[in-house]
Amino acid sequence: MEKPNLNYINDLSGNDEEFKATMIGVLKKELPEEIKDYDEYIKKNDFFQASQSVHKLKHKISILGLEKSYYIAEEFENNLKSNSTALQEEFENFLRLMMNFVNDL
C-alpha cells in the first residue's frame, strides 16, 4: 500500500519552512473537517454530496503523494454519482492512513 509523504509540499515550498508549515497547518485543519463531512453524507446515504466531499479530498490525496489512491478516489467519486458505494472500503482505508500521517506531523 502507498504511504503518504511530504514530497509535493517539500518541492512546492523549496527552502521556505514557513510556507511548508503553513501548508501542513492547512492539511491538519481541513482534512479532518472534510472527512467528517464525507462521513456524515455517507451515513445519510446522500451519495451526491458524498461525491462532492470525495472530490475535495482528492486534492489532499494528491498533495500527500498518493497517486494510486487518487485514481481510486476518482473512480469512487464516479461510483457515488451513480449511487454505488463500490470502492468505499478502499477509499476509507486511505483516509485513515492520511489522518494518521497528518496527526503525526
Q: What is the pLDDT of residues 40-65, one digit of tens each?
A: 999 999 999 999 999 999 999 999 99
Give residue 1's pLDDT: 74
Per-residue pLDDT of the chain (105 residues; tens, 9 = 90+): 799 999 999 999 998 999 999 999 999 999 999 999 999 999 999 999 999 999 999 999 999 999 999 999 999 999 999 999 999 999 999 999 999 999 999
Q: CB–CB of 73/99 below 8 Å?
A: no
Other beta carbons within 10 Å of 59? 13
Q: What is the percentage of the chain residues whose pLDDT exceeds 90?
A: 97
Confidence (pTM): 0.94
28 Cβ contact list (under 8 Å, min separation 6) = 102, 103, 105
SS3 letters across the chain: CCCCCCHHHHHHHCCCHHHHHHHHHHHHHHHHHHHHHHHHHHHCCCHHHHHHHHHHHHHHHHHCCCHHHHHHHHHHHHHHHCCCCCCHHHHHHHHHHHHHHHHCC
